Amino acid sequence: MQSIPVDTARLGVLRCAIPPEAKISNPETKEVKRDRDGNTIYTVAVTVRQDRRRISVIEIAVTGEPKGIEEGQIVKVTGLMAFAWAMGDRHGISFRADAVTPVHGPPASGPAKVGGGA
């Protein structure tokens, strides 16, 4: 499987679409996927929108539970890699990152606060 580093600076604003969930390796038994060291793998669905183009959603796998990420929040993705895969007739791209962290700042929508009195 070929790994391709992804330059997240070129992806525009990254926003959480679905908060972190433990990745399931076997839907029948509900077994949680783990890395080689036994740490739980989580997925975070992130929206990507470049230059007013259509929004795409990618699911990013990350080791360990990302903390403080909520739906709609802008996030920072560190060490993003894409992996091309194929199994029989099926093929696609999967994504993995070193970390997905919240970007703290002003709310994405709503009126700006105006300073008081004079």
Query: What pLDDT score was predicted for residue 53?
Result: 77
Confidence category of residue 115, pLDDT binned at 50, 70, 90: very low
Give the CATH number of domain 3-102: 2.40.50.140
Taking residues 27-55, report their average pLDDT: 91
Taking residues 18-22, report their average pLDDT: 96
Nearest CA to 20 out of 62, 81, 56 is that of: 62
Sign of torsion over alpha carbons 28, 56, 21, 32: positive
- DSSP string across 17-77: EEEEEEPEEETTTTEEPB-TTSPBEEEEEEEEE-TT---EEEEEEEESPPPS--TT-BEEE
Taking residues 67-83, report their average pLDDT: 95
> Is the entire prediction scored with pTM above 0.85?
no
- Return the domain boundaries, the chain: 3-102
